[in-house]
Amino acid sequence: MHPNTLLDALLDEAGVSHAGLAAHVNQAGRSRGLALRYEHTAVARWLKGQRPRGQVPDLICEVLGARLHRAVTLDDIGLGVPGAAAAPPGTPLSGFVERATALWRSDEQQRPHILGAQAVTGTPAVMPVWEWENPPEDSDVSRDGRTRVSTADIAMLRAARTHYEQMYRKAGGIATRMRIVGFLNAETAPLLRGAYSDSLGRRLHRATGGLVAVAGICAYDSDAHGLAQRYFHQALRLAKASGDRGLGAYVVALLVNQSLFMGEYRQVVAFAEAALRSAGREITPALAADLSAMQAKAYAHLGDGTAALACIRRAEAEAERISPGHEPAETGYVQPGLVNVQVAEALLSLGDLGAAREHALEAVGTPAHDRGRVHRLAMLCQIELRQGEADEAARTAVEMTERARGMESQRLRDRLRLVREHLLASDCGDAREAAELIDGALRVPL
């Protein structure tokens, strides 16, 4: 029995207490000839996942619908057909909004079943990408609500996305996640449930999609992979509602990166192809370069050197076309040197150590924010160790460790652990000292 997060979110939106809902349900029941005597304790049980009997679910819909001035269904309050999907394919945008905001609320409340959810694979993982790529499109995203959305609200959401992305780069996803989730609940949810025209609504959904994507990145960086995936799927649905194919392709790139981490290499290839195909002319050189580079890594892991090298050539060609002033804010992560480190990783998997090192050195020699620099140094260190240059690797590892200090990130800790294992396998004294330095950094709790 899982908590009824949808009902909980609707009660919060309607401003109804547990005792208030119980009283209203009793009153609505009397109009139907029912003698109900529910109290706040009953509502608490419903929120914990107990299903009320008889006509009570319909009465709850009636009460909340009157309060919110819109139709409320059994699915909206989490009391639809038992065993049905939480977010069925083709869910109308209004129903999606209710489910999205309910997830944000549950995340902020640290609900265990949300935080511990496993990432889905197979058809459930593929369907959101398929639905983004294929018709039907949203013909009208306008909505009536109590909060009237303005262009200033949308500017605020865009500024928040930039703020939290920068915080993530400096402090890591663990430190940033609850801050951005709190913002989603306090500031974004009322706007998404508010009143806006179709044209303003598309801009609102685009701004919200960019913000939700960063929440997914922070969840991914915190090892909450099921939650991260749900945020990415939300961002993809918001991108579709906005009509911005480029934003959708960016979100698919985030799913590609997560699929790489999970070892779903064929899914990486398929998702990247979907993004490149569907976004068409709306895809930017930076995003095309990153998608191609990630495809190269997937093909390398699959042992297809020919396809990997073709993707590397495409990634390098796209990287040369990047013009920062013509890229959207979301693709700012594709900084100079990023494609080089991606290519270095692919070449390392293919066993071409010389070429891999050239790309890694070029990546390290290019300015980057601290988070990106840690990943670049980690890749260079691995290559140096594979080439038997333990002294060089030790110096690289020391700089990497110093750069990583203070960042609360599971992904960076993964990179540190991997480098530490490789250093310990070396007979070099400097390498063992560098491994001890990493060990000390890893002892700091997150």
At 195 the three-state DSSP class reads: strand
CA angle 348, 352, 356 (to 5 degrees): 55
Q: Considering the entire predicted model, what is its pTM?
A: 0.85
What is the mean pLDDT, run by run of 10 residues, along the chain of 446 residues?
Answer: 83 88 91 88 90 88 85 83 47 84 92 89 93 93 92 98 96 96 96 96 98 98 96 97 97 98 96 95 95 98 97 97 92 94 97 97 93 96 95 95 93 94 88 93 81
Amino acid sitting at position 363: A
Give residue limits of the domains in the chain. Answer: 5-82, 93-243, 369-446
| Cα dihedral 144, 147, 150, 153 sign | negative
- Residue 246 CB contacts under 8 Å (≥ 6 apart), including other chains: 279, 282, 283, 284, 287, 328
Helix, strand, coil shares of the chain as percentages rounded to 5? 70, 0, 25
Residue 89, pLDDT score: 47
| Alpha-carbon span 155 to 136, nearest angstrom | 29
pLDDT of residue 86: 43
Q: What is the pLDDT of residue 65?
A: 84
